[in-house]
Amino acid sequence: MNILVTGGAGFIGSHTVERLLASGGHQVTILDSFNDYYNPAIKRANVAALAGRAEVIEGELTDTALVGKSFEEGRFDAVIHLAARAGVRPSIAQPELYIDTNIKGTFNLLEAARRTGCGHFVFASSSSVYGVNKKVPFSEEDPILQTISPYAMTKMAGEQMCSNYSHLYGIRTISLRFFTVYGPRQRPDLAISKFTRLIEDGLPIDKYGDGTTARDYTFISDIVDGIIGALNHRSGPICDIFNLGGSQTVTLNDLIATIESAVGRKAQINQLPDQPGDVPLTSADVSKASRQLNFKPTTTIAQGVPKYVEWFRDMRSRGLTVC
């Protein structure tokens, strides 16, 4: 299969490209902006490890001409759309940037897919679309009446655009609601990354709230299993949505304790109030993905965090700043 992976130089994208190449039989093209949201050297190192095995196009999703040309020349059978401006708090500070990249960028990809006959589109959505959902665990059938951050709003808009293009043009679209993905190569702004770096260096960590907020942490290899399952999914509704979570909700207090154990050092805590836009709990019902995508997460937080710490220390030993 001839596949375009947007954001293929990043955290989830580079792992996905590796898996596609390892499985054989696929031609893979990466479209990535290599922006400076975090150290671009990390993304270039990810791509260097794929040298000669995947084509790399550098550019923005908002560049309509570039996206169109890429599709015309690539004639892709499928798109795995992972590129986005990510993060709840930055989206509150820069909502227009998120609207441009996440909404216009997704529109450009869907339009190019329509024009070139690309019939399968996998979209990376987010558990943040559930907002302050009082029903636990979160199910794909739950009504979503209110998002609470610009980031979440752009992801919901992406899901709705996918629905439009399925209904109007017959493109099979699958939206995957990721629940707090972590592991080697993850973004340095995420909690596990920040806490590991600061605890390792003996610096204080910012702890928002009383530590009872909880997240459904999902290890990267499990997420990639779900992405590949969605890529190969050809039955059922032409437009569908699946939760991809680790089915292991972990409180902030327990997460900090797990990182302390992996690093071998106690954290210094800078206690702060709750942050606007953050949801108190995420918890995934993955029964639908289990039935239809054969999605079965296996890596616990106690197993996954030490793997991240090992990668973090390796990157530092090679002189790459993970921040």
- What residues contact residue 51 under an 8 Å CB cut-off, 6+ apart? none
For 76-81, what is the mean pLDDT? 98
Given a contact cutoff of 8 angstroms between Cβ atoms, the answer to whether 65 and 108 are in contact is no
A 10 A CB-CB count for 113 gives: 24
A 10 A CB-CB count for 277 gives: 17
The reply to whether 38 belongs to the active site is no
pLDDT at 161 over 90: yes
- Give the whole-angstrom CA distance, residue 301 versus residue 100: 34
Domain assignments of the chain as residue spans, ordered by start: 2-181+218-245+282-297
- Please pick, among 98, 130, 151, 165, the residue that the annotation labels catalytic: 151
Q: Average per-residue pLDDT in the chain?
A: 94
Token look-up 């290599």 returns: 34
Confidence of residue 47 (pLDDT cuts 50, 70, 90): very high
Nearest CA to 180 out of 154, 149, 215, 155 is that of 215
CATH code of the domain occupying 2-181+218-245+282-297: 3.40.50.720
Give the strand pairing for 55-58 and 78-81: unpaired
Helix (H) or strand (E) holding 100: none
Given a contact cutoff of 8 angstroms between Cβ atoms, the answer to whether 57 and 31 are in contact is yes
Say what the pLDDT of residue 9 is: 95
Q: Is the model more confident about 88 or about 68?
A: 68
pTM: 0.94
Percent residues over pLDDT 90 in the chain: 85
Question: Could you please report the per-residue DSSP string of 226-266?
Answer: HHHHHHT--SS-SEEEEEE--S-EEEHHHHHHHHHHHHTSP
- What residues contact residue 153 under an 8 Å CB cut-off, 6+ apart? 147
Say what the pLDDT of residue 321 is: 66
Backbone dihedral angles phi then psi of residue 261, each to the nearest 5 degrees:
-65, -40
